[in-house]
Structure 1
Amino acid sequence: MGTLQVTVTPAEGLIDEPRRITVTGARPGETVVIDTRTLRSGVAWQSQARFLADGNGVIDLERDAPQDGGSYAGVDGMGLIWSQSPVGSASRENFNSPVTDALVTDVTARAGAANAGATLTQHLAARGVTRREVREDGLVGTLYLPAGAGPHPAVMILNGSGGGINEPRAALYASHGFAAFALAYFKAPGLSDYISNTPLEYFQKGLQWIRRNVRPANDFVAVSGQSRGGELVLLLGATFPREVNAVVAYVPSAFVHSGQNASDPKIGREGPTWLLDGKPLTHLWEGNRTASWKPFDEGPSPHRHDRAMRTALGDPEALARARIHVEDIAGPVMLLSGTDDGSWPSDTYSRIVRDRLAEVKHPHDVQWLNYENAGHTILFPYVPTTQHVYAHPVSGKVSTSGGNPRDNARADAQSWPGVLRFLRNAVQAHAAGH
């Protein structure tokens, strides 16, 4: 038996880079307990699993499955990261503030009286990426620029019904060569606390700000958003086709929706979300003969918002009135969804978008990644996926986003490389026709 040792390879890198975690120096067949602990915005997140050392006293997380009873099951080299849970907290905050502060995970192995440790460091921003707060022209956001002089293709990033500024995704986009503008539109300094009555012209101004201030390579600007932001980016592509060159829609809707859980209580959840030329866009709940909130409000715990959303799909006339005219989008479209989305049926919505684009023979690339048993929260690789029952940050209503930790982690790990490939192909296609 040698000296117990934990090795993480590479020990430091971008958050989306997989790591190999090995333990050596155990006795053959010995039980080794591996713990992880990460401070995320001041909250400790932990995981634990037990392994049996092989005939050489080695454990390799890319090869070996943990014994029963740990934080995760099955072979998964990064299982100890995505299976972390907060200790004594309901926190869902996976990142530090500022997000440019690295996430440092202590990995500890114990075998009998012996113990050893190593650290695993994850960065959202690569070396040389710069951050700039934007508070001008009425816009509230944060711009991340890649290292190097550029010019770089650009992407505008929009959050969902939680509001705020999606800096983590912007930092990671910039780390992969995109000028990334995370634009808030509510629940941020100087903006409304609610999604209700948001003018689409605000986002058009954001697109124009990017072109004027960033001067993207070949004038390429994509939009990326999730949930209500996924609905929004499809809507922006259809409304401002000359200004949107590609659309990445995470767990989107095919229809315009009302304010729902992010609405102003004075307006109500059936009030309008989006305005154009000062007039509210027709949404799915308006005049809908089958829509009902009861399956959500009165359904079993944990409540599933998608149960209410599905009732609205029974009125074809309401669907036609509220449908986003995705055929007007003048660029590539990527859709990402999960089959167990607890917030709304993003797989059904994505299929509707995909089928409409096929029907009109959309002349640009259309991709749809649909993840079996995954839920509403599809992010990027190697972050915890355990906290899918939560109180909505605006309404306070408790519900589940659906899925399960393992399948949500699989969707995270597989979707992000696909998104990067899609965007790089979109950049090349745009440059060829520019």
Structure 2
Amino acid sequence: MWRGAASRVWDVCLEHFRGLSHPGRVSLRRCSRRGAVTVSVTPAAGLADQPARIAVWGLKPLQEVTLRALVANEHGSLFDSCAHYQADHQGEVDLSVDLSQGGDYTGLEPMGLFWSLSPAAMEKPYQKLELKKVKAPMKVEVSVHQGYSKPRAIPGQVLAKASVERWFTLPDVRRIRLKEGVVRGSLFLPPGNGPFPGVIDMFGDEGGLTEFRSSLLATHGFAALSLPYFNFEDLPKVMEDFHLEYFEQAARFLLHHSKVKGPGIGVVGIGKGAEFASSMMTFLPEVVAAVCISGCSSITASALHYGQLTLPGIRFNMSRVSVSESGVFDIYEALDDPLDPANSSSRIPIEKAEGHFLFVVGEDDRNWKSSLYAQIAIGCLRQHGKDNFKLLSYAGAGHRINPSFSPVCLVALDHVLGVPILSGGESKAHAHAQEHSWREILEFLHIHLS
């Protein structure tokens, strides 16, 4: 078991949630020294997908201040965000009720300092702030500065500071590195004897092992398997043709685990991972629920084999890629049309699936036309008389729809191509889509796996 701050995460979260049941302006002036400016973040240690409350007191009436958040990732790169607030007549600022006047966002955004984190001015742009080591928290410093300062600029005098830990797992969640036959990954098990509903979690064409969503799923009661499919340990280093048997072995392993209850498991995938989620639902009886985030209705780039069946990958035409003056690549038109009869053999025949689909798309996705692809998939299901689906389509949201309060990344550096790729979306709308869709995803999985 963990000790120290980590062991207090769950208790602090519970205290925080009880406090949120009584909304209204925070008033803690009596807790500070007379004349001292204080900033409070509650809980000081909490789950990354749960809200925190930020309040400042001890300011002068109507004083203008900049609130700033600062994070260093595992490699030491800095990410920051800022917002402008004006104190009330009591010298207080409460982000749960007060509006930001400027900075990285405006309006009522209680968690804006977290979802607007982006590379600091001195850092390489377009980096994603995604935690790789989930057993340690993301440590955020929240500071209050005199006056209004522009984003990525030197802020004014520091008036107060506070530290907060954002955890992606709970103390009693077990993480088991998996090496089962050819299958690789990490299995996260909630505390207790179980059995728990099982979920396989997959990401896109960046490859490698990404665990932050799986670890959060375990905090919500799921036995979650983070499943890489290339560029990890002895898996292929680059995307080649894939074999569904690899994913079948992973599904059978999870379903037959002593801590996992049946009769079936769920799958969550984004981008390329959503293609595999749809394919697993279509061909594997072990899978009964699939969350497909920003995916395609067909197999793309690399072929998918299953026994004697082959679904060839639709090709990307790089001549249709455009580059902005700032050097950002727009690949929205690059993928060949799935509706072209020449690509009909690449379509995933999801009408064969007996389970339930949840399609999650951003209507401003610029990675590719995920909103159109979801409509193609839904049209196919309807054509075959099926209503085993739900669509969450978000205006103003882009490609990378992650759990609640994740930093929004509208342009991301592609690890394969080494260039910045436009993901699309508008920051505030995308952040709201993440918060709403994460609640819906958890509910969907609980309903269909219980």
- The answer to whether TM tops 0.5 is yes
Bigger shift: residues 248-257 or 351-360: 351-360
SS at match of 1:234: helix
Distance 1:214 1:91, change over 3 A: farther
Where does residue 20 of structure 1 map in the other structure?
53
Alpha-carbon offset, residue 299 of structure 1: 7.6
Q: Are the equivalent residues in 2 in contact too, given 1:153–1:219 (CA < 8 A)?
A: no
SS at match of 1:213: coil
Matched, 1:33 2:66: yes
Where does residue 375 of structure 1 map in the other structure?
398
What's the Cα RMSD here? 2.1
In structure 2, C-alpha distance between the alignment counterparts of 1:71 and 1:4, rounded to whole Å: 23
Where does residue 17 of structure 2 map in the other structure?
none
Alpha-carbon offset, residue 168 of structure 1: 0.6
Where does residue 294 of structure 2 map in the other structure?
251
Misfit runs of 4+, over 6 Å: none
In structure 2, C-alpha distance between the alignment counterparts of 1:97 and 1:327, rounded to whole Å: 36
Cα deviation code 1:333-385 (max 9, x no counterpart): 10100111111111111111122223323264x21111111111000111211
Q: Are the equivalent residues in 2 in contact too, given 1:197–1:280 (CA < 8 A)?
A: no
In structure 1, C-alpha distance between the alignment counterparts of 2:141 and 2:328, rounded to whole Å: 33
In structure 2, C-alpha distance between the alignment counterparts of 1:119 and 1:368, rounded to whole Å: 38
In structure 1, C-alpha distance between the alignment counterparts of 2:345 and 2:130, rounded to whole Å: 40
Q: In the alignment, residue 393 of structure 1 is paired with which amino acid?
A: H
In structure 2, C-alpha distance between the alignment counterparts of 1:96 and 1:127, rounded to whole Å: 17
Matched, 1:195 2:234: no
Distance 1:211 1:323, change over 3 A: same
* Correspondence for 1:294 among 319, 327, 351: 319
Bigger shift: residues 73-82 or 291-300: 291-300
Bigger shift: residues 59-68 or 297-306: 297-306
Gaps of 5+ in 1: 259-271, 286-290, 429-434
Cα deviation code 1:191-226 (max 9, x no counterpart): 111121111111001111112334522333111110
Matched, 1:79 2:103: no
Cα deviation code 1:372-425 (max 9, x no counterpart): 11111000111211x432332123243211113222212211110010011111
* Correspondence for 2:96 among 35, 57, 62: 62
In structure 1, C-alpha distance between the alignment counterparts of 2:178 and 2:58, rounded to whole Å: 52
* Correspondence for 1:398 among 420, 426, 433: 420
In structure 1, C-alpha distance between the alignment counterparts of 2:417 and 2:329, rounded to whole Å: 14
Alpha-carbon offset, residue 92 of structure 1: 3.0
Matched, 1:94 2:119: no
Q: In the alignment, residue 189 of structure 2 is paired with which amino acid?
A: L
In structure 1, C-alpha distance between the alignment counterparts of 2:176 and 2:337, rounded to whole Å: 42
* Correspondence for 2:332 among 301, 306, 328: 306
In structure 2, C-alpha distance between the alignment counterparts of 1:186 and 1:314, rounded to whole Å: 28
In structure 2, C-alpha distance between the alignment counterparts of 1:377 and 1:8, rounded to whole Å: 27
SS at match of 1:185: coil
Where does residue 44 of structure 2 map in the other structure?
11
Cα deviation code 1:287-308 (max 9, x no counterpart): xxxx843221578752222212
Alpha-carbon offset, residue 91 of structure 1: 6.4
Where does residue 237 of structure 1 map in the other structure?
281
How many residues align? The count is: 404
Q: Structure 2 matches for 1:160-175, cutoff 5 A?
A: 160-175=204-219
Where does residue 227 of structure 1 map in the other structure?
271
Where does residue 366 of structure 2 map in the other structure?
342
Alpha-carbon offset, residue 313 of structure 1: 4.7
Q: Are the equivalent residues in 2 in contact too, given 1:306–1:344 (CA < 8 A)?
A: yes
In structure 1, C-alpha distance between the alignment counterparts of 2:420 and 2:166, rounded to whole Å: 31
Q: Are the equivalent residues in 1 in contact too, given 2:65–2:85 (CA < 8 A)?
A: yes
Q: Are the equivalent residues in 2 in contact too, given 1:199–1:278 (CA < 8 A)?
A: no
Bigger shift: residues 97-106 or 148-157: 97-106
Bigger shift: residues 49-58 or 84-93: 84-93
In structure 2, C-alpha distance between the alignment counterparts of 1:279 and 1:360, rounded to whole Å: 22
Q: Are the equivalent residues in 2 in contact too, given 1:43–1:91 (CA < 8 A)?
A: no
Where does residue 210 of structure 1 map in the other structure?
254
* Correspondence for 2:382 among 358, 366, 378: 358
Q: Are the equivalent residues in 2 in contact too, given 1:339–1:372 (CA < 8 A)?
A: yes
Q: Are the equivalent residues in 2 in contact too, given 1:244–1:330 (CA < 8 A)?
A: no
In structure 1, C-alpha distance between the alignment counterparts of 2:249 and 2:61, rounded to whole Å: 64
Q: In the alignment, residue 257 of structure 1 is paired with which amino acid?
A: T
SS at match of 1:202: helix
Q: Are the equivalent residues in 1 in contact too, given 2:189–2:223 (CA < 8 A)?
A: yes
Where does residue 314 of structure 2 map in the other structure?
284
Calculate percent identity across the aligned residue pairs. 29
In structure 2, C-alpha distance between the alignment counterparts of 1:325 and 1:394, rounded to whole Å: 29
Alpha-carbon offset, residue 145 of structure 1: 0.4
* Correspondence for 1:183 among 198, 212, 227: 227
| TM-score between both structures, scaled by the size of structure 1 | 0.88
* Correspondence for 1:275 among 305, 318, 321: 305
